[in-house]
Structure 1
Amino acid sequence: MKRLLQLVAVVLMYRISWKKLFVVVAIMTTVGMVLQTHTLPYPMATWFLPPQTMVSSYKSLNGSTVHLTETLSLESAEQFQLVPTAPVVSLNSSTELVKSVPIVEERAQVSPRRNSSSRTRRKNAKIDKMNEKKVVFHPPPPRTVPTRLQRYIWSLPPDEALLFAKREIQNVSTVTDDPELYASLFHNVSVFKRSYELMETILKVYIYRDGARPIFHAPHLKGIYASEGWFMKLMEENRQFVTRDPKKAHLFYLPYSARQLETALYVPNSHNIRPLSIFLRDHVNMIAAKYPFWNRTHGSDHFLVACHDWGPYTVNEHQELSRNTIKALCNADLSEGIFVAGKDVSLPETTIRNPRRPLRNVGGRRVSQRPILAFFAGNMHGRVRPTLLKYWSDKDEDMRIYGPLPNRISRKMSYIQHMKSSRFCICPMGYEVNSPRIVEAIYYECVPVIIADNFVPPLNDVLDWAAFSVIVAERDIPKLKEILLAIPLRRYLVMQTNVKMVQKHFLWNPKPIRYDLFHMVLHSIWFSRLNQIQISVS
């Protein structure tokens, strides 16, 4: 063994050319690296980065555009090209590199499956398609550093912040292009947009925790009076606008339900609703005695939201509540002397059949698939509907005017199908001026025809109802068909397009989104508060 080691040492020292050995090893190493590089699934110069997806963008108060981005998960990223070339990389200061190791490993595990049978591929494709439908991306909340202007606004006392907003709106610049807003729907889209942005930046609402269920803090989310319940629910869940510090509040919310008040206190067939208004009067007096905020403004910075027909009458026993408080009411009737245009807010009356799916059946048909000129079906409530049936029930094939929809008709075509098949949907008042058919028509993309004298249409402070509806005086019911046929086709097509565009402003989303009905109602309340502020001319 010793002699063998000596022999090997002699050979290595005297008989091998180390220079030649070094060259051979270098050549073999180089060839090995080249072969290995060509066998890799991706070039070595590639960075494996998941794509960045633009979720949304918005303009901040200082005029700079802020983009919100989020990185897609692996499952959804499979739809996109995941391998951008390494030398060309453009990153914003806020963008972070994402480690690529898990993605590469995942792709390496998946790639052998591509050689499986066609049956397995089809099965996987179906599963992928099912999973693809389930993936829903929600933009994250803005995480921007407050601008100097925002910090200045937040430092202002509530009254001074409102005064600042009032001046900003008076000096608003013209909006030329906004992809989120359709200018034709608004009286002044520039004023609305600026006011809405200021609301998002400034507004804080304090919600009184006083009051026992079910009259307070118990939203009723179903039926024709659901608007007050949905607003209450979404307001009490909100984090952006709600404050726990009343000293920071610009508005104070009285979270009562007129629908629940009627259910709890009204004696059936008594025809006496005074106990309801007395109850609310006593509650407000308790609030005024317990807190300093009511007496400070005599209730002018407080608001309530009531959709029941009796909503206006529940405030009659308290003078300041009736005169000063901002009332968002479905029963927006000017003739009663309770609703005050410019101060109070006309609340849309929305029928919610399934609270878990409030947007069910929303959508309509093309104009070419609407053979019916006008449609109405409903109970004979109030003074207008009997007159409508007197002149148009069973009188004209183009005018489908019914009382309750007959079974022989509904078996062939449902109420909703009638609305989706009609060019105009007749919305006459019932016992009170508002009707859930107005918003139903918008949901089903049918131009609403409003017949209710002294009625202030919903959100009339910002929306131009002449752009997407027809308003007919009660005395003109005999000429209803003549009025509708006098609208040129080109004008009708514009109106029907406007109905589609305004639809998003009347939707109750379980999680509120920008410019939906929750935000539109809140903005009208905010805008009403700003209208109360007087700027002294110096």
Structure 2
Amino acid sequence: MNCLVDFEKTVMISNDAIVCCRSYELMERTLKVYVYKDGKKPIFHLPILKGLYASEGWFMKLMQGNNRFVVKDPRRAHLFYMPFSSRMLEYTLYVRNSHNRTNLRQFMKDYTETIAAKYPYFNRTGGADHFLVACHDWAPYETRHHMEHCIKALCNADVTVGFKIGRDVSLPETYVRSARNPLRDLGGKPPSQRHILAFYAGSNHGYLRPILLKHWKDKDPDMKILGRMPPGVASKMTYIQYMKSSKYCICPKGYEVNSPRVVESIFYECIPVIISDNFVPPFFEVLDWGRFALILAEKDIPNLKDILMSIPQERYLALQLGVQKVQQHFLWHAKPEKYDLFHMILHSIWYNRVYQIKLR
């Protein structure tokens, strides 16, 4: 399949279509990655494939098991992967209720200094050709200073806490419910059967969600805005069915700018409504988010229904079709497929590294 045609059909590329397409093809043909073997489990080399932080685990698993991109000889590598789990770093080292994360950052500092002393590669560029993939909210803090020049693929893609556009990569936060079948329950109802205007359910994390609930919880039958749903299988299935049956899925920030609801919405073919002022959407350098999502300011919450109701049916259908087309870029597969989530993350890392070299 022609790369440019494929990208245009999936609303992947805007004005930089040819450049991005060639970059992807060049990546597939030439990119070589060296994966450091240093570091012990569970913080290193132990991919967690289920739950809220599954993105970093799935990438680790697929990267370490990859025969196309990974090389055993670091002298052949264009990029160097530092395979740690920010989730396991927190789980292993954080002293609960201590409100002190200094030891987590020190641990990563010691690891980075070991890599720099043992191998000649980190010091050649100050780590600019090294990358990490981390989904925990604390990852920007844990990797600050000592990994400052590395390419960071982060779920917490917040420009106010150090995320650098043009260097770092916004990592999609994917809530994987089944490690054996990450595509379970994929899809949703057609537009004609989506009778709920907007849906949200979740914990009261951060300052924004209480504002959303104050304005819309139990206030309007068209707006299915709920608080936290009770635990259990039945509630999970109800949550999924609400997403499959809603036109728009509200994705407000929590404690941090990111939300797993963005990818969940795409997974269940519901148009994501992102409400997070400082959030950098995943793959924004190649995806035209205006064709399959709404990005609203936090101050728009009181007018949320009016905004959604003002969208013409023709545009709604175009957005819904856009979600279906772009969905392939947000899916994990046990065996990676062209343009899927694994390849999209790797391409963004490659793309940003090439961009940084051009700026020299």
TM-score (norm 1): 0.65
Amino acid at match of 1:329: L
Q: Does 1:241 align with 2:51?
A: no
Work out the CA distance in 1 between the residues paired with 2:176 and 2:254: 18
Deviates more, 1:516-525 or 1:455-464: 455-464
- Aligned residue for 1:186? 13
Question: How many residue pairs end up in the alignment?
Answer: 357
- Give the C-alpha shift of residue 342 in structure 1: 1.1
Amino acid at match of 1:203: L
- Aligned residue for 2:190? 366
Work out the CA distance in 1 between the residues paired with 2:286 and 2:236: 40
Percent same amino acid at aligned positions?
59
Alignment of 1:143-182 (within 5 A): 175=4, 178-179=5-6, 182=9
For each residue in 1:399-453, what CA deviation from the matched residue of structure 2 results, as whole angstroms up to 9, or x when unmatched?
A: 110101369xx67970100001100000001111111110000010000000111
Work out the CA distance in 2 between the residues paired with 1:189 and 1:273: 42
Work out the CA distance in 2 between the residues paired with 1:379 and 1:535: 42
- Aligned residue for 1:292? 120
Work out the CA distance in 2 between the residues paired with 1:413 and 1:363: 14
- Aligned residue for 1:47? none
Q: Does 1:279 align with 2:107?
A: yes
- Aligned residue for 1:216? 44
- Aligned residue for 1:443? 267
Amino acid at match of 1:292: P
Work out the CA distance in 2 between the residues paired with 1:411 and 1:341: 38
Amino acid at match of 1:184: V
- Aligned residue for 1:53? none
- Give the C-alpha shift of residue 221 in structure 1: 0.8
- Give the C-alpha shift of residue 293 in structure 1: 0.5
For each residue in 1:9-30, what CA deviation from the matched residue of structure 2 results, as whole angstroms up to 9, or x when unmatched?
A: xxxxxxxxxxxxxxxxxxxxxx
For 1:260, what is the secondary structure of its paired residue? helix
Residues 277 and 317, structure 1, Cα contact 8 Å, conserved in 2: no
Query: Given the superposition, is the C-alpha separation of residues 413 and 294 from structure 1 closer, same or farther in structure 2, using an over 3 Å criterion?
Result: closer
For each residue in 1:488-514, what CA deviation from the matched residue of structure 2 results, as whole angstroms up to 9, or x when unmatched?
A: 110110000000000000000000010
Residues 304 and 328, structure 1, Cα contact 8 Å, conserved in 2: yes
Q: Does 1:459 align with 2:255?
A: no
For each residue in 1:74-130, what CA deviation from the matched residue of structure 2 results, as whole angstroms up to 9, or x when unmatched?
A: xxxxxxxxxxxxxxxxxxxxxxxxxxxxxxxxxxxxxxxxxxxxxxxxxxxxxxxxx
Work out the CA distance in 2 between the residues paired with 1:412 and 1:347: 24
Between structure 1 and structure 2, the one with the greater Rg is 1
Amino acid at match of 1:335: T
Residues 220 and 230, structure 1, Cα contact 8 Å, conserved in 2: yes
Q: Which has the higher contact order (CA 8 A, sep 6+)?
A: 2
- Give the C-alpha shift of residue 191 in structure 1: 2.1
Amino acid at match of 1:290: K
1:332 aligns with one of 157, 164, 173: 157
RMSD between aligned alpha carbons? 1.7
Alignment of 1:18-57 (within 5 A): none
Work out the CA distance in 1 between the residues paired with 2:235 and 2:165: 43
- Give the C-alpha shift of residue 190 in structure 1: 2.1
Q: Does 1:316 align with 2:141?
A: no
2:346 aligns with one of 518, 522, 525: 522
Residues 11 and 325, structure 2, Cα contact 8 Å, conserved in 1: no
Alignment of 1:114-513 (within 5 A): 175=4, 178-179=5-6, 182=9, 184-187=11-14, 188-318=16-146, 321-322=147-148, 324-336=149-161, 338-405=162-229, 414-513=238-337
Work out the CA distance in 2 between the residues paired with 1:412 and 1:214: 29
Work out the CA distance in 2 between the residues paired with 1:425 and 1:221: 25
Work out the CA distance in 2 between the residues paired with 1:391 and 1:523: 40
Query: Given the superposition, is the C-alpha separation of residues 414 and 514 from structure 1 closer, same or farther in structure 2, using an over 3 Å criterion?
Result: same
Residues 253 and 276, structure 2, Cα contact 8 Å, conserved in 1: yes
Work out the CA distance in 2 between the residues paired with 1:455 and 1:438: 11
Work out the CA distance in 2 between the residues paired with 1:411 and 1:194: 45
Runs of 4+ in 1 over 6 A off after TM superposition: 410-413
For 2:52, what is the secondary structure of its paired residue? coil
TM-score (norm 2): 0.96
- Give the C-alpha shift of residue 317 in structure 1: 4.8
For each residue in 1:319-362, what CA deviation from the matched residue of structure 2 results, as whole angstroms up to 9, or x when unmatched?
A: xx12x1000000001111x1111110000000011100110000
Amino acid at match of 1:327: K
Work out the CA distance in 2 between the residues paired with 1:519 and 1:300: 20
Query: Given the superposition, is the C-alpha separation of residues 205 and 406 from structure 1 closer, same or farther in structure 2, using an over 3 Å criterion?
Result: closer
Query: Given the superposition, is the C-alpha separation of residues 228 and 413 from structure 1 closer, same or farther in structure 2, using an over 3 Å criterion?
Result: closer
Work out the CA distance in 1 between the residues paired with 2:359 and 2:315: 41
- Aligned residue for 1:133? none
Stretches of structure 1 that go unaligned for 5 or more consecutive residues are 1-56, 60-174
Amino acid at match of 1:366: P
For 2:274, what is the secondary structure of its paired residue? strand
Work out the CA distance in 1 between the residues paired with 2:195 and 2:80: 49
Query: Given the superposition, is the C-alpha separation of residues 287 and 406 from structure 1 closer, same or farther in structure 2, using an over 3 Å criterion?
Result: closer
Residues 427 and 449, structure 1, Cα contact 8 Å, conserved in 2: yes
Work out the CA distance in 1 between the residues paired with 2:275 and 2:332: 25
Stretches of structure 2 that go unaligned for 5 or more consecutive residues are none
For each residue in 1:36-90, what CA deviation from the matched residue of structure 2 results, as whole angstroms up to 9, or x when unmatched?
A: xxxxxxxxxxxxxxxxxxxxx678xxxxxxxxxxxxxxxxxxxxxxxxxxxxxxx
Query: Given the superposition, is the C-alpha separation of residues 368 and 527 from structure 1 closer, same or farther in structure 2, using an over 3 Å criterion?
Result: same
Query: Given the superposition, is the C-alpha separation of residues 227 and 535 from structure 1 closer, same or farther in structure 2, using an over 3 Å criterion?
Result: closer
- Aligned residue for 1:123? none
- Give the C-alpha shift of residue 517 in structure 1: 0.1
